Amino acid sequence: MTASELNLLMTLATIHAIALASPGPDVALVVQSASRYGRRTGLLIALGLSVGILLHSILSLTGVSLLIRQHPLWFVIIKLAGGSYLLWLGVGALGYVLRHQGEGRSLARVEVEAGLEGPLNAFVRGLMTNLLNPKALVFFVSLFSTLVPADLSAQGKMGALVLLWALSLTWFSLLAQLLTSRTLQARLQRAALTLDGICGAVFVLVGGGILWSTLSGL
Q: What is the pLDDT of residues 2-51, one digit of tens each?
A: 888 888 899 999 999 989 988 888 998 998 888 778 888 889 999 999 99
**144: pLDDT strictly greater than 90:** no
pLDDT in tens, 183-208: 776 676 677 677 778 888 888 998 89
Residue 191, classified by CB atoms within 10 Å of its CB into exposed (0-12), middle (13-18) or buried (19+), is middle
Alpha-carbon span 79 to 213, nearest angstrom: 9
pLDDT-derived band of residue 102, with 50, 70 and 90 as boundaries? low
**89: pLDDT strictly greater than 50:** yes
Q: How many CA atoms lie within 13 A of 72 on its CB side?
A: 4
Per-domain boundaries in the chain = 35-216
Instruction: Please state whether the predicted TM-score (pTM) of the whole model is above 0.75.
Output: yes
Alpha-carbon span 78 to 164, nearest angstrom: 22
Helices (H) and strands (E) in the chain, counts: 11, 0
Model pLDDT, residue 3: 81
Query: CA dist 137 to 25, 61, 64, 81, 202, Å?
Result: 14, 12, 10, 13, 19
